Structure 1
Amino acid sequence: MWVVKIGGSLSHDPALREWLTRLWEVGGGRVVIVPGGGDFADAVRQYQQEWRFDDLAAHNMCLLAMAQYAILMQGVVPELVLASNEERIRRALRDGRVAVWVPTDLMRATPDSMTNWDTTSDSLAAWLSTLLNAERLMIVKSCDVDTDMSMDALAAKGIVDRRFPAYVRDANYIVEIFSHSDAEVVRDRLLNLTV
């Protein structure tokens, strides 16, 4: 199973449709998509600055931001299956479908290590990859990515979140960072697994 996190920064990029279509075409039964927060999460930042509420509220609102992006993705490619927990994800995969994670089960009543701005959908994708015992985690960004950079360097440049390197340091799955223009590369990898 592969987890593919598609950054919220692709929410206005024509490449989003290509990514979703390619993953749906060849990823049935093998791919779980994790949505970023995008504009929806940016609105949470603005509201937090305006109203000065705590990071716990912001965390819960950002999970809803990811849920909105997940619904947008299904709106673009209706064959994708929304799934809010491990059981529903595994059911979608057993049915030969591509799941899109709706992370509302991670809403919190009290603060913990996830309820901060250093932990974004990148780290949540790593957390989910560990939970699902994924073989591979692919993070798709809207910017060009230097594949030779370390995870710490990518975090320092703000390409992945600050907590991400710690989440994947001892991961038992492969971690790769892709640019928005790499949809065909990932499609070809998925196809090569089937031959």
Structure 2
Amino acid sequence: MPSYVLKLGGSLIDTAREFMRALIILAEEEEAGFLVLPGGGPFADLIREVVAQEGLSEEAAHWMAVLAMEQYAYFLADGTGARLTSRLRLPEKGEVTLLLPYRALTEEDLCPEHSWDYTSDSIALLVAARLGIPLIKVTDVDGVLIGGEVAEELAACQLLEKESCIDQGTIRLLSGELSGMRVWVLNGSDPAAFAQAFRSGKGGTFINGQKLSPSDQPMGRFIQ
């Protein structure tokens, strides 16, 4: 099986290390490689509180939030057997590695913009694009809700300027320069159910990239 970038959300922190152990077993059984991008979780929430209280610049907040992702990486690695890396490289067959994003991004900053629109979701997509492999976003919901129901598949443009479980930076990238990619959103609360969905290729939501024409682009910031 191919390699994947897997973004592991901070919303799963209570069960995240159990998920990591299960992911290592899954990687070995399926001969798949996973490069895990940590979310920010409560570490990033603290940054948001500081920003709200102290009025920090978006530039400072961005790098503090990336450091928060790195803290979560150490949490996820502790006692799980996952290895830490600061290199943007393809994971080997049966390997699970955790990216230390601050170290990687200070060597090569992939983010087109430093703002709260471009969070760990966007960073994971940009890393997946750089490595040329698919992205799986693992979170605590079953997928993207449209009209109260989980959508099996949708175009990224359907989520422009709308609140969902994925950040707006990712949606803009999928509607622009990374329109050839897609993101698979899966629930990781139950590692066994996640493994079953991964093996079958079914479940969650597939968000497909679709490049918009200039006239279709929303007002405000948009990645060309």
Fold-level similarity (TM above 0.5):
yes
Deviation at 1:22, TM superposition (A): 1.9
**Which letter maps to 2:120?**
S
> Which sits farther off after the overlay, 122-131 or 143-152?
143-152
Deviation at 1:9, TM superposition (A): 1.0
**TM-score w.r.t. structure 1 length?**
0.81
Q: Would you say 1:180 and 2:188 are equivalent positions?
A: yes
Q: For residues 34 and 95 of structure 1, what CA distance do their matches in structure 2 show?
A: 18
Q: How does 1:91-102 map to 2 (within 5 A)?
A: 93-94=91-92, 96-102=94-100
Deviation at 1:58, TM superposition (A): 0.6
Q: Report the equivalent of 1:24.
A: 24
Deviation at 1:163, TM superposition (A): 1.4
Give the ranges of 4+ consecutive aligned residues of structure 1 lying more than 6 Å apart after TM superposition: none
Q: For residues 11 and 26 of structure 2, what CA distance do their matches in structure 1 show?
A: 24
Structure 2 counterpart SS, 1:157: coil
Q: Report the equivalent of 2:47.
A: 44
Q: Which has the higher contact order (CA 8 A, sep 6+)?
A: 1
**Which letter maps to 2:165?**
I
Count of residue pairs brought into register by the alignment? 183
Pick the structure with more helix per residue: 1
User: RMSD value over aligned CA atoms?
Assistant: 2.7
Counterparts in 2 of 1:19 and 1:166: CA distance versus 1, 3 Å: same
Q: For residues 152 and 39 of structure 1, what CA distance do their matches in structure 2 show?
A: 29
> Percent identical across equivalent pairs?
27
Structure 2 counterpart SS, 1:27: helix
Q: Is the 8 A contact 1:82 1:99 kept in 2?
A: yes
The counterpart of 1:56, out of the listed 56, 59, 65, is: 59
Deviation at 1:65, TM superposition (A): 0.4
Q: Report the equivalent of 2:118.
A: 119
Compare CA radii of gyration and give the structure with the larger one: 2
> Which sits farther off after the overlay, 174-183 or 58-67?
174-183
**Which letter maps to 2:63?**
N
**Which letter maps to 1:120?**
T
Q: How does 1:109-188 map to 2 (within 5 A)?
A: 113-134=112-133, 136-145=134-143, 146-148=150-152, 150=154, 151-153=156-158, 156-169=162-175, 170-181=178-189, 183-188=191-196
